[in-house]
């Protein structure tokens, strides 16, 4: 599903009517030569109910104009159409918001987006319109997630985030944008950013008490995820003492306990606590015995303790679960090579099949 293509496809829903004669509306003359757009569904319904027997509804024409300009903001009769709207609608903004809201209520999300797009084309875009458009876009993204190509997903969610951030840059007190960004970054597993936006919303002076109660509950769940993300950052920078300290704040409710114990083991290993690292990685493997990095970590612990036979057995255990693991085949092959065990070639050949490189080729030739 490509949203831009879907919107362009909606042009098929527009038909153009020709007046039999010049018509005047609210002291504004509409030339008979001006083709007037109407949504095909409105036309069919008007004919079915005999609504159009005497005259065509200006309200249905207005809807067609707004819808058309939401698809093609530079349509050739744009200026004349806008004149019609200005002479026949008292409060254009609220009228279009109503049309959009009705479409969304009827699960016609793309139509709801098109109406607001038309409003932006006609009167420009303030934060209220921008937020509603972005919120509908977010709902479209969530509804059609499995139908959107990966490259389009990334582009679409980036545009949504950028749009909410632009709203905040114009008005730091537009608190609902913080609220939505909190959920978006949570779903993207960027827990620190999610926590940041939720906390800004929670600390705001807004009156959204029901939403604040909801956010307090979400923040409790996010705390563990945020701490694990912080620990991952520390580990990536080699700050294992800091990582170890943060990991201790993660509760037993954190759902990925195997990953938690793996990070404990990494930190303990690099801090020189090898026995403790071995205990932690054993727990991780007991919780998830199909993760290659866990077996590799256990093997590294045994090597650090100078228990090469135990390390070999650990790699073999890992390969019995994850046969096509490059890192386990490679490390086992190198370990056997250092022990002058001719079986090393078997594992290095397998590693080469998985990820060919010149270093491995030189070792197995």
Ramachandran angles phi, psi of 98, nearest 5°: -65, -50
Mean pLDDT of the chain: 91
How many angstroms separate the Cα of 130 from the Cα of each of 136, 174, 197, 219, 317? 10, 11, 19, 27, 56
- Among residues 99, 117, 136, the one where a domain terminates is 136
Q: Phi first, then psi: give them for residue 50, nearest 5 degrees.
A: 65, 15
Residue pLDDT, tens place only, 44-54: 565 555 554 45
* pLDDT band, residue 26 (cuts 50/70/90): low
Does residue 107 lie in a domain region? yes
Which of 136, 151, 181 terminates a domain? The answer is 136
| Burial degree of 238 (CB within 10 A; 0-12, 13-18, 19+) | exposed
CA dist 49 and 264 (Å) reads: 71
On the question of pLDDT at 179 being above 60, the answer is: yes
Work out the average pLDDT over 299-322.
96
**How many CA atoms are closer than 13 Å to the CA of 132, on its beta-carbon side?**
23
In a domain, 20, yes or no: yes
Measure the CA–CA gap between 172 and 181, rounded to whole angstroms: 13
Say if 167 falls within a structural domain.
no
Based on the structure, what is the number of domains in the chain?
2
What is the predicted pLDDT for the residue at 91?
95
Name the pLDDT band for 313 (thresholds 50, 70, 90): very high
Q: Minimal CA–CA distance to 156: which of 167, 143, 169, 168?
A: 143
pLDDT of the residue at 361:
83
Question: Can you say whether residue 29 is alpha, beta or left, with left for phi > 0 and alpha for psi between -120 and 50 degrees?
Answer: beta
When mean pLDDT is compared across 45-54, 314-323, 348-357, the lowest value belongs to: 45-54
Residue after which a domain boundary falls, among 101, 136, 171: 136
- Contact between residue 58 and residue 25 where contact means Cβ atoms under 8 Å apart: yes
Least confident segment among 23-32, 60-69, 78-87, 275-284: 23-32
pTM score, whole prediction: 0.78
- Cβ–Cβ under 8 Å, residues 269 and 257: no
Assigned domain for 144 exists: no
Give the best-scoring range by mean pLDDT among 49-53, 100-104, 248-252, 350-354.
100-104
The answer to whether residue 81 is domain-embedded is yes
Please check the confidence at residue 203 and state whether its pLDDT lies above 70.
yes
Structure confidence at residue 321 (pLDDT): 95
Burial class (CB in 10 A: 0-12, 13-18, 19+), 58: middle
Q: What is the 3-state secondary structure (H, E, C) of the chain?
A: CCHHHHHHHHHHHEEEECCCCCEEECCEEECCCCCEEEEHHHHHHHHHCCCCCCCCCHHHHHHHHHHHHHHCCCCCCHHHHHHHHHHHCCCHHHHHHHHHHHHHHCCCHHHHHHHHHHHHHHHCCCHHHHHHHHHHHHHHHHHCHHHCCHHHHHHHHHHHHHHHHHHHHHCCCCHHHHHHHHHHHHHCCCHHHHHHHHHHHHCCCCCCHHHHHHHHHHHHHHHHHHHHHHHHHHHHCCCHHHHHHHHCCCCCCCCCHHHHHHHHHHHHHHCCCHHHHHHHHHHHHHHCCCCHHHHHHHHHHHHHCCCHHHHHHHHHHHHHHCCCCHHHHHHHHHHHHHCCCCCHHHHHHHHHHHCCCHHHHHHHC
Residue 28, domain member (yes or no): yes
Q: Quick check: is 187 in a domain? A: no
pLDDT confidence band for 110 (50 / 70 / 90): very high
Instruction: Report the percentage of the chain scoring pLDDT > 70.
Output: 96
* pLDDT tens, residue by residue, 54-63: 566 788 889 9
Task: With a cut of 80, say whether residue 28 has pLDDT above it.
Answer: no
Q: What residue numbers bound the domain in which 102 lies?
A: 3-136
CB of 79 closer than 8 Å to CB of 56: no
CB 316 within 8 A of CB 342: no
Residue 202 clears pLDDT 60, i.e. is over it: yes
Q: Is residue 161 part of a domain?
A: no
User: Helices 150-170 and 175-187, interaxial angle, to 10°?
Assistant: 150
Digit-coded pLDDT (tens) for 224-258 = 999 999 999 999 999 999 999 999 999 888 889 99
Quick one: pLDDT band at residue 23, thresholds 50, 70, 90?
confident
CATH number of 339's domain: 1.25.40.10
Share of the chain above pLDDT 90, in %: 75
pLDDT in tens, 30-43: 888 889 898 887 66
Q: Is 356 exposed, middle or buried (0-12, 13-18, 19+ CB in 10 A)?
A: exposed
Q: Which two tokens stand for residue 116?
A: 């607001």
Tens-digit pLDDT profile for residues 140-159:
999 999 999 888 999 999 99
pLDDT of residue 290: 94
Average pLDDT over residues 316-333: 95
């Amino acid at each position: 599903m490509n949203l831009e293509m879907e919107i362009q496809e909606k042009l098929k829903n527009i038909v153009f009517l020709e007046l039999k004669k010049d018509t005047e509306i609210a002291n504004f003359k509409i030339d008979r030569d001006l083709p007037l757009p109407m949504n095909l569904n409105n036309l069919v319904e008007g004919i079915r109910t005999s609504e159009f027997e005497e005259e065509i509804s200006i309200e249905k024409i207005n809807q067609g104009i707004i819808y058309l300009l939401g698809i093609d903001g530079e349509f050739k009769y744009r200026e004349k159409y806008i004149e019609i709207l200005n002479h026949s609608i008292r409060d254009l903004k609220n009228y279009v918001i109503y049309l959009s809201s009705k479409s969304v209520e009827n699960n016609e999300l793309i139509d709801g987006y098109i109406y607001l797009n038309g409003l932006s084309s006609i009167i420009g875009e303030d934060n209220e319109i921008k937020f509603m458009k972005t919120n509908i876009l977010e709902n479209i993204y969530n509804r059609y997630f499995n139908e959107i190509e990966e490259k389009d997903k990334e582009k679409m969610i980036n545009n949504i985030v950028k749009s909410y951030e632009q709203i905040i840059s114009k008005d730091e007190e537009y608190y609902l944008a913080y609220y939505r960004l909190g959920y978006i970054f949570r779903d993207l597993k960027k827990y620190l950013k999610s926590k940041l936006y939720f906390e800004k919303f929670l600390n705001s002076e807004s009156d959204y008490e029901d939403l604040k109660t909801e956010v307090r509950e979400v923040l409790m769940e996010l705390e563990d995820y945020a701490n694990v993300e912080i620990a991952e950052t520390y580990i990536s920078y080699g700050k294992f003492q800091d990582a170890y300290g943060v990991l201790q704040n993660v509760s037993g409710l954190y759902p990925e306990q195997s990953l938690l114990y793996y990070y404990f083991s990494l930190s303990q290993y690099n801090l020189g606590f090898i026995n403790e690292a071995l205990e932690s990685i054993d727990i991780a493997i007991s919780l998830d015995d199909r993760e290659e990095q866990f077996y590799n970590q256990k093997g590294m612990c045994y090597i650090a303790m100078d228990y090469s036979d135990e390390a070999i057995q650990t790699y073999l255990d890992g390969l019995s679960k994850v046969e096509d693991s490059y890192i386990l085949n490679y490390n086992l092959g190198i370990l056997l090579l250092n022990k002058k065990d001719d079986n090393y070639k078997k594992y290095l050949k397998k590693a080469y099949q998985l990820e060919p490189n010149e270093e491995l080729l030189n070792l197995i030739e």
